[in-house]
Amino acid sequence: MDYSPTSKAALRWAADNLIEEGDRIILIHVQPPKSNHTRKQLFVDTGSPLVPLEEFREINFSKQYGISNDPEVLDILDTVSKTKRAKVVAKVYWGDPREKLCNAVEDLKLDSLVVGSRGLGVIKSLLLGSVSKYVVTNASCPVTVVKGAQSSKP
């Protein structure tokens, strides 16, 4: 979750199409390796502990991990938590999102992963690297890529 429109679309898609009664949702955040927040020193190798939704929404969590809460994301999570009785937790990693997402699949023994695709285009994708393409190729679980709205730019 990076709070981009495609990341939110991926969360919405998972909530509407994948999550069933009693499932567990793990919202994974990957912070840049150079970010320097109080919890990074403790958990840089393993990622943070699983943080329940109740704690995730607190301002203290935002300060400790450098993650801003987004009302739209919280609304989606609250809704799926109440309507489907899904258990929602968050986990923070530091480093390259491609590698950390694949590591999370193994560490957390995920059944599936849902990611957004920014649709960078061929040139930008070659220069920056596509997180979604890397994860689809390297993750050991099924990966669903939710595409964002197509840009009108050439």
pLDDT at 72: 94
Q: Is the pLDDT of residue 15 over 90?
A: yes
- The total number of structural domains in the chain stands at 1
Tell me the C-alpha distance between 142 and 129, whole Å.
20
Range of the domain at 52: 5-147
Q: 5-19, 47-61, 64-78, 123-137: which has the minimum mean pLDDT?
A: 123-137
Indicate whether 63 belongs to any domain. Answer: yes
Residue 42, in any domain of the structure: yes
Within-domain flag for 15: yes
DSSP secondary structure of 22-53: T-EEEEEEEE-TT---TTHHHHTTT-PPPEEH
Residue 153: pLDDT above 60? no
What is the pLDDT confidence band of residue 40, given thresholds at 50, 70 and 90?
A: low
Q: What's the rounded Cα separation, in Å, for the pair 82 and 127? A: 42
Q: Are strands 51-52 and 87-94 parallel, antiparallel or unpaired?
A: antiparallel
Q: CB–CB of 27/91 below 8 Å?
A: yes
Assessment of whether the complete model's pTM goes beyond 0.85 = no
Q: Residue 74 maps to which CATH number?
A: 3.40.50.620
Residue 154 domain-assigned? no
Query: Is residue 66 in a domain?
Result: yes
Nearest to 138 by CA among 116, 114, 91, 105: 105
User: Is residue 62, in this structure, part of any structural domain at all?
Assistant: yes
The answer to the question of residue 134 being in a domain is yes
Q: Is the predicted pLDDT of residue 6 greater than 60, yes or no?
A: yes
Is residue 152 one of the residues assigned to a domain?
no
